[in-house]
Chains A and B, each alone.
Chain A
């Protein structure tokens, strides 16, 4: 196996789970690897996990504490050049996904993103056409940068090792980071590391048995469940579109929550679908949810046709009311 560089960044001074997963993949290949870390507290974060690495590098400092293309690209370029490894593994976080394709251009390197496996013969697997087709490929071109999909690899146990060599990198930029916002009014409901994904479908806003809609109760049940279980919250397209049209329907669901062909494909161990029909464009977004259960009034809904492990033909309002008593 050729030499690899494991390129990571910190979040709040630590290497996040996605980074440990990339490190886990590199270690599983059994070859020699360098470790490089970028961001606030990069040097100490690198040392906490550098056990087994041949060379250890870091870039830190105020300019690199924040996620921004110009500075991140400059730092990653410097780290990759300093290591010289032909194969670079990095987690496919938004930060690296923004920066590394441009770095590949600077280095005349190849890059593949959303990589879900790499074997010792150098073949990777990834998905095409919005997770509808899987493919395996190899490249002769080097350097080759691989962005590894979070949630697709077992994480490495952190092993402390040598302190890094700190590179000094300079870069001009016209961009300043001003802050963060959440479209969920303080409610942080998408948690990539959560074990459970809860998906709310359009049924929550439809007329119920009594002929009336119960959007307020639906909102309370959903948010109460999300808060108590700290799960991720997703939705189907029709719900997102309804809220996009300005109707007073579950306004906390935005395009950020949409799961499916034109939405995201989250990776969680478990998923619970409620009041959504299980139509194909929605269910392709469930491709990487391992255990799936659904609650739907309709015994012929899409989930029943081999898309879920368990389907409860039941009223989701009733089930969720009972469930909230138990958790």
Chain B
């Protein structure tokens, strides 16, 4: 049976970039925010790879990406993402970044999904990352799902398999380095992914070209979204913790071991 898979994913500054906050109490941001190269949010990217994998296993399935981000940046990032797997894009043109409000973002995403004309909710798998690499709230996907009336929800998922009877077997991370295994009898469900088990798919230029034919018009149609600030920021800052490092050199291993053993016992 085919699925309708919707992947919610925003953008994040490329993790190798140096980040510096600019403090404006009304709208805190990053220095040169619009200049920083961006990537598709890493956890949402895992969700997307899992979506592509599942869609291949269930012919007739569609993967749709819903993304709220500054349109120009989204276009750049989609040039890369589109090479990976067949997808459709629903773009919302609005502010990205960590200091936007999770609730407002969730409302915008849920509205965009609810407005999809041909959505069969009985086949809906709502995917996203369990947290973003920007706000790191881990709250957006649950709020989107609630707004769509989906109350079967999973967080920090590493594995999803479809059983012979159509039920969904889900492995979620829990405390203690373990997974909880749940069985949900049927869609609709929301899965907020951790890393999953799949590597990044290699680039496939033909897929990229086919995708861009639908992605470009979607970007042109991107609905503008204004996100009103909901919180009052009092301070944003870089942590400043440089330690006085003691370097221990040319000391026999046994002596180092004694020092470490004592430190562990303290």
Contact = CB atoms under 8 A, between A and B. Distances in A.
Q: Bound pair: A and B?
A: yes
B139 A134 contact: no
B261 A132 contact: no
A262 B42 contact: yes
Given A174-B184, A314-B256, A229 B142 contact: no
Contacts of B182: 68, 175-178
A102 B230 contact: no
B1 interface: no
Interface residues of A, number: 92
Taking chain B's interface residues, is the majority helix, strand, or loop, or is none over half, making it mixed? mixed
Contact of A173 (B141, B152, B238, B261): B152
B126 interface: no
B248 interface: yes
B-side interface size class? 35 or more
Contact of A123 (B158, B179, B234): B234
A293 B106 CA distance: 41
B156 interface: yes
B73 interface: no
B174 interface: yes
B239 A101 contact: no
A3 interface: no
Interface in B117-147: 133-143, 145-147
Contacts of B257: 319-320, 322-323, 325-326
B30 to A, nearest CB: 8
Nearest to A128: B98
Interface in B206-247: 230-239, 242-247
B234 to A, nearest CB: 4
A270 B263 contact: yes
Interface stretch (A38-46, A47-55, A89-97, A153-161): A89-97
B259 to A, nearest CB: 8
B253 interface: yes
Interface stretch (A19-27, A78-86, A106-114, A207-215): A106-114
A6 B139 CA distance: 20
B177 A261 contact: no
A313 B249 contact: yes
B236 A73 contact: no
Contacts of A322: 253-254, 256-258
Contacts of B165: none
A180 to B, nearest CB: 5
Given A323-B257, A326-B261, A311 B177 contact: no
B185 A174 contact: yes
Contacts of A270: 263-264
Interface string B163-195: 000000101111111111111111000000011
B143 A93 contact: no
Contacts of A307: 243, 245
B237 A133 contact: yes
A248 interface: no
Nearest to A231: B264
Interface stretch (B2-10, B11-19, B51-59): B11-19
A304 B245 contact: yes
A170 interface: no
B69 interface: no
B15 A111 contact: no
Contact of B155 (A97, A134, A178, A183): A97
Contacts of A130: 15, 133, 136
Interface in A292-327: 292-293, 295, 299, 303-315, 318-323, 325-327
Nearest to A172: B151
Contact of B153 (A69, A189, A313, A327): A69
B152 A95 contact: no
A190 interface: yes
B112 interface: no
B138 A175 contact: no
B245 A303 contact: yes
A67 B156 CA distance: 13
A66 B42 CA distance: 30
B129 to A, nearest CB: 11
Nearest to A135: B236
Given A110-B103, A180-B174, A311 B247 contact: yes
Given A130-B15, A325-B257, A229 B264 contact: yes
Contacts of A220: none
A227 interface: no
Given A69-B152, A291-B263, 16 more contacts: A101-B140, A102-B146, A105-B106, A111-B139, A113-B137, A133-B19, A133-B98, A133-B236, A176-B182, A181-B181, A192-B176, A272-B260, A293-B263, A303-B245, A307-B243, A310-B248
9 contacts: A101-B138, A102-B151, A110-B230, A110-B231, A133-B239, A135-B233, A137-B232, A180-B179, A255-B158
Q: Which 9 A-B pairs have the closest CB atoms?
A: A190-B177, A322-B257, A101-B139, A318-B253, A306-B242, A101-B142, A98-B155, A105-B146, A102-B142
